[in-house]
Amino acid sequence: MKVVLFDIDGTLVKAGGAGARALNHAVEAMTGHKDACAKVQLQGATDKANFENAFKAGAGRKPRPKELAELTRRYVARLPLEVMASVKAKKYLKVRGVEKFLARLAGRKDVLVGLGTGNLKDGAFIKLEPSGLAKHFAFGGYGCDSHHRSVVLQKAVQRAAKLRKAPVKEGEVFVIGDTHRDVEAAKEAGYHSAVVLDGFGDRSLIMRSNPELLTKDFSDMKPWLIWLGLEKDPRGVRRGTYICPDSPIEHAHYGRTGLDLRDIELGIRKLREAKKKVAGK
Ligand SMILES: [Mg+2]
């Protein structure tokens, strides 16, 4: 069984700035400050963190828990209107090929498809609504689960295990996003990672985060199916086992697994242990 987790913004859909507008609206209503999101890097972070930062940009201080709850309520109330505005302005887009790719995965009994997103659960489904893609996602990890994207992903995997009624191994989880933060979170949790370049991520940061697969969108399904281990590599290379790719072209085209990834995982494991020590756990 494989668990495939999709980020939403820039990976499944582009909501034409609906989220930022809804958040701006909520911050302005509470602090009088306009366009607070202009000062905040929203992409790849969780809603929870974005709400705090946007409020701080507007009010000059952190929100109290009550204020954060009100901000969240106002955001969720405003979001459907902003999403519809994007649809009307033809600025709401699906990432190319994602519909077919999801339909292909949905047809397989050995694949569970879920969300791994920084969006709050309510916000996630409001954003997905016009795309018609929501039906594919029976479970997920959301921005309301944690500030930390790696924990969001782990939550999604716990829910997948519940659905499947069996534990899910780290190596069975595949995370698809559009920013380096998606990749870093996946690696921190010990999962596979891939990136679509047609989203909102910063290319140089994405390159540095070193995902296993890096491709424009889903219009060519082949590399995705090979990465997921659902199709054989035409070059006969078994994924995740080779040390050095046969050629630089293959390296660039099909991403990097094998020794590369294990090195990184080892590094992250050491970092996590060090973090735990500092936190006194
Ligand atoms: Mg994204």
- What's the confidence (pLDDT) of residue 231? 87
pLDDT in tens, 9-23: 999 999 999 999 999
Residues 48 and 142 in one domain: no
Domain count, the chain: 2
93 Cα: distance to centroid of ligand 1 (angstroms): 13
pTM for the full predicted model: 0.82
- Other Cβ atoms less than 10 A from the Cβ of 224: the count is 23
- Other Cβ atoms less than 10 A from the Cβ of 270: the count is 10
Least confident window among 68-77, 88-97, 149-158, 250-259: 250-259
Tokens of 59: 């009010």
pLDDT in tens, 209-227: 999 999 999 999 999 999 9
- What's the confidence (pLDDT) of residue 262? 58
Percent of the chain with pLDDT over 70: 89
Residues 273 and 140 in one domain: yes
Beta strand segments in 133-238, E: 140-141, 173-177, 192-196, 213-215
Residues 140 and 235 in one domain: yes
10 Cα: distance to centroid of ligand 1 (angstroms): 5
- What's the confidence (pLDDT) of residue 280? 76
22 Cα: distance to centroid of ligand 1 (angstroms): 17
Residues 188 and 81 in one domain: no
Residues 133 and 231 in one domain: yes
pLDDT over 90 (residue 116): yes
Tokens of 279: 């936190």
- Other Cβ atoms less than 10 A from the Cβ of 233: the count is 17
234 Cα: distance to centroid of ligand 1 (angstroms): 30
45 Cα: distance to centroid of ligand 1 (angstroms): 8
Tokens of 222: 């082949």
Overall average pLDDT of the 138-153 stretch: 93
Parent domain of 249: 2-13+93-279
- What's the confidence (pLDDT) of residue 159? 97
Total residue length of the chain: 281
Residue 134, Cα to own-chain centre: how many angstroms?
Answer: 15
Residues 99 and 167 in one domain: yes
Tokens of 96: 């190319």
CATH of the domain at 227: 3.40.50.1000
Residues 84 and 97 in one domain: no
- What's the confidence (pLDDT) of residue 261? 58
Tokens of 207: 């390159």
Last residue of some domain: 56, 71, 88? 88
Mean pLDDT taken over the chain? 88
Last residue of some domain: 44, 65, 88? 88
Q: What is the gyration radius of the CA atoms in the chain, in angstroms?
A: 19
- Other Cβ atoms less than 10 A from the Cβ of 120: the count is 21
236 Cα: distance to centroid of ligand 1 (angstroms): 32
Q: What pairing do the DSSP bridges indicate for beta strands 173-177 and 140-141?
A: unpaired
246 Cα: distance to centroid of ligand 1 (angstroms): 32
Residues 165 and 252 in one domain: yes
Comparing 233 with 275, the larger pLDDT belongs to: 275
